[in-house]
Amino acid sequence: MAVSLYGPEDARQTVCVYLEHNAGRLEDVSLGLISKALELTSGSDWRVCGLILGDDTRKPAQEALARGLGEVISIQHEIMTRFDVSAFTRACFEVILQEKPAVFILGATPDGRDLAGRLAVRLRTGLNADCTDLRLNLETGQLISEVSGFGGGVIALLESPAHRPQMSTVRPGVFEQQFVRPVKSGVIRQIDVSLSRSDLQSELLERSVGERLDLSKSQVLICGGRGMHGEFVQLNALAEQLGGEVGATRPPVDEGYIERERQIGQTGVVCRPKLAVTCGISGAFHFVVGIQEADTVVAINIDPQAEIFNYCDYGVVADAHQVIPALIEALARESHSSHA
Amino acid sequence: MHEFHIVVCMKVVPKAEEIRVDPESLLLDRENARSEINPPDMNAIEHALRIKDQCRARVSILSMGPPLFESILRVGLAMGADDFYLLSDRAFAGADTLATTYTLARGIDKIGDVDLVICGEESADGATGQVPAGIAEWLGWPQVTLATEFQLSDDYTVCTARREIPGGYEVHRVKLPAVFSVKTASNEPRFMDFDRKPWAMEEAGVIVWSRSDIEVEDDLIGLKGSPTIVSGLEQAETRARQQHMLEGDPESIAAQLAEILAPFHTRN
């Protein structure tokens, strides 16, 4: 059998959380992972530590302590002005072999996936990607990762019984950030890793990141599916009216009617809005997981048999193309009269 | 001079919309689903063929799977690829990411003199997106994931690639050989070339390699080489919803909906 560089007998009761940061702040996905790691280990002897890399990690490392982490391992190096998969893999590899955590979790972001994919191979260990939940057996140290199966409503539980660290990446938006009491005695430990420019795998010639559309933060989500036949004008108007955002299922995205970053669900964004309105969406499970945490779901679909009606609070059997304009008008009247 | 050589990693998946779940066992019924080329891999081969259109390059398809993959992936030959390597052995079955990437990397070693490896963003049936990074690590090559455009240097030793990231893009320059994954839907895959079709579907020889052909360690392939196991299947919990159906004429439905939606007004 393929053997990892250290096994369960040598692993420490530690959950190590990879912390991504940008412009001096921790990314939301990392904050969610911190909350989850603290929840999984609460009341036990298990240790949770963050791992943060960069040319200046002071602010985000402090933020991690303020979010309840007792310990943050920081690797600062002048060449790490940005994520470079080769240099970051090398640095993380050294720390992991030193610390021997039983569990190492990362966000399923582009950088997190790049890093996790390489690191798991270098450590000869198992990697479960895009998990929707994590469970930890505090006795045995076994991490159980949930992934939504391919197709309807089934989740698969994955484990790496004999390999350490047990690595998982978790999709952004899956874990909620809990507000916890900061640990007063929290420590930031600097670890030196010898790196040079030759450890960088690529030259970054250009980078442009604008305002990032983050549907997972939207309070109101108006979603369109195949049944909209590519017509998103009315949905945009309704979203605008309610101060929300428009999302979509995969078909309109694949057909180019709407940007891919607006795709909701298993292969898109997982959202937690107060309100989700689904229009012309049949309700396939890989979409439904994306709005599962919505407080209220309103579904409009012309087919009375559509699955979506099992997942909604209010259902309307009608053509969304007709309902939405009437709804926009009714809402306008209502807000007008409430202001009168 | 050495011919510039691109390997495109492709796989076959059951059509997502045709998969059913057995309610008793919770196992996937893939038997009755038709197979197709993993859709993101179509974007991968299209990128490779566009490079071939611009310069002299050889494009090879590499896949790991059962013999039935052969007829489906021949489509890639008809689109313009030159060779097709299929890693096929019972001992490869049950591979997770670690074992899969190891086996594919050994296949790439065996092909030899490869300059560029291009993969799809993720597989439709696994959706882990971890294969490109894993292959790059086994080979010790640089990687650029989520690429949308490629530009080769005049001497074919350096590749500049644009990649899509949330909210923007980056342009990376890496020395070759290197591994890339391409952003799903970043191009429009071409149709089969009618003139190539008879050759691609019938005459072209597919190179099938078993475990002894690619010199793999038995401990690192298939189920034995896979650290992860599926320890259980569960019905996903879904939140209980009111499922209150609104009735009435369009006018009245709109009024009822407006009443439900009004409290969510974040404006005003």
Alpha helices in B115-222 (DSSP H): 131-139, 197-198
Cross-chain Cβ contact A117/B134 below 8 Å:
yes
- Amino acid symbol at B101: T
Minimal Cα distance from A152: which residue of B?
A: B21
> What tens digit of pLDDT does each residue of A39-89 get?
999 999 999 999 999 999 999 999 999 999 999 999 999 999 999 999 999
Instruction: Name the band, by pLDDT with cuts 50, 70 and 90, for residue B267.
Output: low
CB B183 within 8 A of CB B61: no
b/e code B191-203 from CB counts within 10 Å (16+ = b): ebeeeeeeebeee
Cross-chain Cβ contact B19/A118 below 8 Å:
no
Tell me if chain A has a CB within 8 Å of the CB of B242: yes
Size of interface A-B (CB pairs under 8 A): 285
Partners of residue B25 in chain A, C-beta under 8 Å: none
Same fold, A12-199 and A215-339: yes
Q: Say what the pLDDT of residue B24 is.
A: 73
> What tens digit of pLDDT does each residue of B20-45 get?
777 777 776 777 788 999 999 999 99
Minimal Cα distance from A212: which residue of B?
A: B167
Tell me if chain A has a CB within 8 Å of the CB of B223: no
> What tens digit of pLDDT does each residue of A190-206 get?
999 999 999 999 899 99
Domain ranges of chain A: 12-199, 215-339
CA of B242 vs chain A CAs: smallest distance (Å): 4
Residues in CB range of A150: below 8 A, 6 or more apart: B16, B19, B28, B124, B125, B126, B127
Partners of residue A241 in chain B, C-beta under 8 Å: 267
**What would the mean pLDDT of B222-227 be, rounded to a whole number?**
94
Dihedral (CA of A104, A107, A111, A117) sign: positive
**Unique residue bearing structure tokens 């670690």:** B98
Residues A102 and A16: their CA atoms lie apart, in Å, by 8
Helix (H) or strand (E) holding A53: strand A47-54
Helix (H) or strand (E) holding A326: helix A320-339
Per DSSP, the three-state class of A162 is coil
Cross-chain Cβ contact B224/A334 below 8 Å:
no
Cross-chain Cβ contact B20/A242 below 8 Å:
no
Q: Say what the pLDDT of residue A76 is.
A: 97
Indicate the residue of A121, A210, A241 with minimum beta-carbon distance to B168.
Answer: A210
Percent of chain B whose predicted confidence (pLDDT) is above 70 = 96
Minimal Cα distance from A87: which residue of B?
A: B142
Indicate the residue of A128, A202, A266 with minimum beta-carbon distance to B174.
Answer: A202
**What would the mean pLDDT of A15-28 be, rounded to a whole number?**
96
CA of B105 vs chain A CAs: smallest distance (Å): 12
Partners of residue A242 in chain B, C-beta under 8 Å: 261, 264-267
CA of B23 vs chain A CAs: smallest distance (Å): 9
Q: In DSSP terms, which residues pair with B35 in a beta bridge?
A: B14
Q: What is the mean pLDDT of chain A?
A: 92
- Amino acid symbol at B80: G
The CATH topology of domain A12-199 is Rossmann fold (3.40.50)
* Residue A256 pLDDT exceeds 90: no
Please return the burial class of B114, using the count of CB atoms within 10 Å of its CB with bins 0-12, 13-18 and 19+: buried
Residues in CB range of B174: below 8 A, 6 or more apart: A201, A202, A203, B142, B144, B158, B159, B161
Q: Say what the pLDDT of residue A152 is.
A: 58
The strand pair at A142-148 and A133-137 is best described as antiparallel
Print the domain residue range for B168.
Answer: 4-225
Minimal Cα distance from B180: which residue of A?
A: A114
Query: Residues B206, B14, A149, CA angle at the centre, nearest 5°?
Result: 135
> What tens digit of pLDDT does each residue of B121-165 get?
988 776 678 999 999 999 999 999 999 999 999 999 999 999 998
Q: Say what the pLDDT of residue A339 is.
A: 57
Q: Say what the pLDDT of residue B124 is.
A: 77
**What would the mean pLDDT of B11-22 be, rounded to a whole number?**
79
Domain count, chain B: 1
Using alpha carbons, select from A249, A237, A240 the residue that is nearest to residue A299. Answer: A249
Cross-chain Cβ contact B143/A85 below 8 Å:
yes
Residues B161 and A297: their CA atoms lie apart, in Å, by 41
CB A155 within 8 A of CB A148: yes
Percent of chain B whose predicted confidence (pLDDT) is above 90 = 76
Tell me if chain A has a CB within 8 Å of the CB of B250: yes
Cross-chain Cβ contact B262/A288 below 8 Å:
no
Tell me if chain A has a CB within 8 Å of the CB of B16: yes
Cross-chain Cβ contact A209/B168 below 8 Å:
yes
Partners of residue A266 in chain B, C-beta under 8 Å: 127
Q: What is the mean pLDDT of chain B?
A: 92
Tell me if chain A has a CB within 8 Å of the CB of B32: no
The CATH number of the structural domain formed by A215-339 is: 3.40.50.1220
Minimal Cα distance from B29: which residue of A?
A: A151
Residues in CB range of B256: below 8 A, 6 or more apart: B246, B248
Contacts with A, B 100-159, CB within 8 Å: 101-102, 122, 124-134, 136-138, 142-146
CA A222 to chain centre: 21
Per DSSP, the three-state class of B65 is coil
Residues in CB range of A276: below 8 A, 6 or more apart: A220, A221, A222, A223, A291, A294, A296, A297, A298
CB B33 within 8 A of CB B15: yes
Tell me if chain A has a CB within 8 Å of the CB of B220: yes
Contacts with A, B 33-92, CB within 8 Å: none
Partners of residue B260 in chain A, C-beta under 8 Å: 296, 298, 314
CB B108 within 8 A of CB B137: no
Q: Which of B175, B239, B244 to mutate to test the interface with A (most CBs of A within 10 A)?
A: B239
Q: Say what the pLDDT of residue A151 is.
A: 58
CA of A303 vs chain B CAs: smallest distance (Å): 13
Instruction: Name the band, by pLDDT with cuts 50, 70 and 90, for residue B203.
Output: very high
CATH code for the domain in which residue B39 is found: 3.40.50.620
**Unique residue bearing structure tokens 């959202």:** A271
**What would the mean pLDDT of B170-198 be, rounded to a whole number?**
95
* Residue A155 pLDDT exceeds 90: no
Residues B91 and B105: their CA atoms lie apart, in Å, by 16
Q: Say what the pLDDT of residue B268 is.
A: 46
pTM summary value? 0.89
